[in-house]
Amino acid sequence: MVKRDEVLPVFQDPNRTIDERVRDLISRLSLEEKISQMLFFSSALSRVGIPEYNWWNECLHGVARAGVATVFPQAIGMAASFNQDLLYEVASAIADEARAKHHEYARKEERGIYKGLTFWTPNINIFRDPRWGRGQETYGEDPHLTGRLGVAFIRGLQGDHPNYLKVAACAKHFAVHSGPESLRHEFDAVVNPKDLRETYLPAFREAVIEGKVEAVMGAYNRVNGEPASASPTLLQKILREEWGFSGHVVSDCDSIEDIHKYHKYTSSPEESAAAAVNNGCDLNCGRIFASLLKAVEQGLITEETIDRSVARLFETRFKLGMFDPPELVPYANIPYEVNDSPEHRKLALQMACESMVLLKNEDNLLPLNKGKIKSIAVIGPNADSKEILLGNYFGVPSQYVTPLAGIRAAVGPEVKVNYAEGCDLVTDGPSFWGEAPTSGFAEAIAAVERADVAIVCLGLSPQLEGEEGAVANSDGGGDRIKLTLPGMQEELLKVVSMVGKPVILALFNGSPVAINWAAENVPAIIEAWYPGEEGGRALADVIFGDYNPGGRLPVTFVKSLDQLPAFTDYTMKGRTYRYMEEEPLYPFGYGLSYTTFAYTDLALAKPAFKIGDDQEVRISVQVENIGPVAGDEVVQLYLRHVGASVETPNWELQGFKRVALAPGEKQAVEFILQPRQLAVVDERGAFRLEAGEIRLSMGGQQPDAKSRSLTGAKVLETNLVLSGPALFLEENE
């Protein structure tokens, strides 16, 4: 530590506590200067030597919008890995690149947008409806999976230094936010207490309590009548009082303006700004907080309340070491060369491989034997697309490996690769010049006729699903209005299949696609998501057996919109695997492998206990690779309450672990269930342990009939019996 210098202002003295430094700094500022720090483009405070700072930065799956950076698979793809440890490693690499970029830019006095250390990531909303265009940004539909992956990503971003954050993570969008995009500025998400506590809040709770996330972003919409970015229920009662959150809250961009402009909750910018800050929102992505000076004059808010928010914001900046000598901040010395490094590209490849989900493999068509193939046809609008590698909120790769490029590199010059686009993504009628949308079919058929096998690359693209205003070819404001393959893609797949050659379908998308015809008629299907800069290489590794796929679906693939409630209905009844009553096309947690795994010796340490006497439940199983090749298995633990006094999910994931096993290798996997995981959630949203039977299931999939029929495998099951009077675990009842 530096020696204390009495001449040094307290806020500049690293030997002082952060609280002392923050209070000293705020005491030196005028009201106008304080308010200037509550806008995301915070002004320079020249008279105290503080430069301008822009709070807005993104790193959903790599440092975004800031030039060249390693681009990892989109979040939904990373979720399909079911690998917390790998997600942590990816987030840590992203944070290294973020630090390196920030300091390089700051040394050159570049301090604008997307150059700071406060990242508005991760998106831990629940992907409750496949129509939502931003579902690709999430970790899927399950609260437990989302919570565990969210905590891993936050910890990777923020680092483990006792004094400094590597970067500041932000859990968004708090809360009950998942479309429709076209209504987000005016929509009121009405949710009952049970669904709120059982589904929409758990991942945020884990991010705050366990992940120690530094920031939380409010949502655009209202929740039960209250604007999310000015909600006393969400921001005060739950976030700060119940969960003890001490970081800062940022509004989603322009959502404070929405409070009076669209929600009509207030009648002026001054009232909206005051409502937000009074209820716990500290930072405005937008300009409405500039009205706080008038709000003070009008008696709508006090300067003391503004001081509270400014203190939270400066605390984050102190934690990031922004006002300390660089030699004291270890992350300030990360070299610029880590950005887009070979090591990070290798990590992107690993994550892309682990994200791939094998949905179908009839007659073991995959993996292909390169030594027996003389020619391959690579077909489809996504076969040579760079866009489908990226998803949304992306950086710029220095190298793009498209599916076509990855396949060509994998087989080398000795195998002929015929490429034909076949059709574009969306056109389903004649062009302005009268050209039929099927005009590329002939070329595609010719390519397949001259090949031993066809690899057809179809799906969606970031131009078809995403955020409101960011999607050019969407009638849903970024959301999807149908779940089938758009344009003439399914027709292309059908004509290619009619040639009679083996067909492999590779899907690239950020949300479920209703590929009902393909599921019945195409022998092999791979879900590749938006797989990042190394996506084409990862796909080729899977197709040719250099990597054995082990990914699992983090979201249910439904058969049609007819299986879904209305998009605007936020109740969970009929939604996701937890409450869906109809048979899906592909279930949550599903994925195949090139090898086979066997489960034995399911053991529950204590099959019965009295409520209140025990603090945790231990359950273990032996997993063995009994197949011919090495592979990863995702061990999944589900529970179901039998005869509970309230409605409970069909099943709920409460544990998962990805394990790598060589042929013949066996490994014990243990999960520890805490009391909260065993509780039911009543209609008031209270968690309670109650007497009764809990069915525990362990295997590589859900314990549902569809998973059994698709895999031919069963899960192991046992019962846990609780006795004694009910015990409430939460304070909110």
Whichever domain contains 608, its CATH number is 2.60.40.10
Instruction: Name 632's Cβ contacts closer than 8 Å, sequence gap at least 6.
Output: 354, 548, 550, 593, 658, 659, 660, 661
Identify the DSSP state of 557: B
Q: Which domain holds residue 431?
A: 356-555
Asked if 332 and 393 sit in the same domain, the reply is no
From 338, 370, 388, the end of a domain falls on 338
Looking up residue 522, the CATH number of its domain turns out to be 3.40.50.1700
Are residues 640 and 690 in contact, defined by beta-carbon separation less than 8 angstroms?
A: no
Say what the pLDDT of residue 435 is.
Answer: 87
Four-CA torsion 665, 699, 706, 722, nearest 10 degrees: 170
* pLDDT value of residue 2: 46
Confirm whether 583 is domain-assigned.
no
For residues 710 and 630, membership in a common domain is answered with: yes
Q: Which residue has the tokens 């589900």?
A: 638
Question: Is there a contact between 71 and 532 (Cβ–Cβ < 8 Å)?
Answer: yes
- The answer, yes or no, to whether residue 348 has pLDDT greater than 70, is yes
Residue carrying structure tokens 């797989």: 531
Q: Residue 696: inside a domain, yes or no?
A: yes
Residues 477 and 364 in one domain: yes
pLDDT of 475 above 80: no
The length of the chain is 733
Shortest CA distance to 321 belongs to which of 110, 116, 166?
A: 166
Contact yes or no for 188/236 (Cβ under 8 A): no
Q: pLDDT per residue over 569-602, tens digit each?
A: 999 999 999 999 999 999 999 999 999 999 999 9
Say whether both 334 and 361 belong to one domain.
Answer: no
Residue 3, pLDDT > 70, answer no
Q: What is the pLDDT of residue 1?
A: 45
Average pLDDT of the chain, as a whole number: 96
Query: Do 424 and 471 reside in the same domain of the chain?
Result: yes
247/312 Cα distance (integer angstroms): 6
Residue 731 has pLDDT above 60, yes or no: no
Domain boundary among 555, 579, 607: 555
Q: Taking residues 47-54, what's their average pLDDT?
A: 96
Are 411 and 361 contained in the same domain? yes
Residues 6+ away with beta carbon under 8 Å from 346? none
Average pLDDT over residues 89-113: 97
The yes-or-no verdict on residue 6 having pLDDT over 60 is: no
Of 555, 580, 613, which closes a domain? 555
| Same domain (yes/no): 322, 446 | no
The one catalytic residue among 465, 467, 468, 633: 465
pLDDT for 5 = 47
Encoded tokens for 725: 């009077």
Q: Is there a single domain that holds both residue 328 and residue 361?
A: no
From 141, 252, 258, 315, active-site residue: 252
pLDDT score for 8 = 85
* C-alpha radius of gyration, the chain, whole number: 26
Residue 374 CB: number of other CB atoms within 10 A?
11
User: Can you tell me which residue has the tokens 């800050």?
Assistant: 277
Q: Is 60 exceeded by the pLDDT of residue 722?
A: yes
Give domain status of residue 343, yes or no: no
How many structural domains are present in the chain? 3
pLDDT tens column, 482-540 = 999 999 999 999 999 999 999 999 999 999 999 999 999 999 999 999 999 999 999 99
Q: What is the CATH number of the domain that holds 298?
A: 3.20.20.300
Tell me: do 549 and 619 sit in the same domain.
no
If asked whether residues 436 and 362 sit together in one domain, one would say: yes
- Asked whether the predicted pLDDT for residue 472 surpasses 80, the reply is no
Distances 388 to 73, 326, 362, 591, 695 between C-alpha atoms, Å: 10, 39, 26, 22, 41
Partners of 625 in the beta sheet? 597
Residues 432, 352 contacting (CB under 8 angstroms): no
**389-442 per-position pLDDT tens digit:** 999 999 999 999 999 999 999 999 999 999 999 999 999 988 778 788 999 999
Residues 6+ apart with CB under 8 A from 2: 14, 15, 325, 328
Q: What pLDDT is attached to residue 432?
A: 74
Does residue 5 lie within any of the structural domains? Answer: no
User: Does a structural domain hold residue 54?
Assistant: yes
Based on the fold, state whether residues 524 and 412 are members of the same structural domain. yes
The reply to whether 465 belongs to the active site is: yes
Q: Is 704 a catalytic residue?
A: no
The CA distances from residue 395 to 64, 68, 120, in Å, are 4, 6, 15
Q: Is 537 within a domain?
A: yes
List pLDDT tens digits, range 554-578.
999 999 999 999 999 999 999 999 9
Judge if 158 and 21 occupy the same domain: yes
Model confidence, pTM: 0.97
Instruction: Identify whether 689 is part of a domain.
Output: yes
Domain presence at residue 345: no
300 pLDDT more than 70: yes
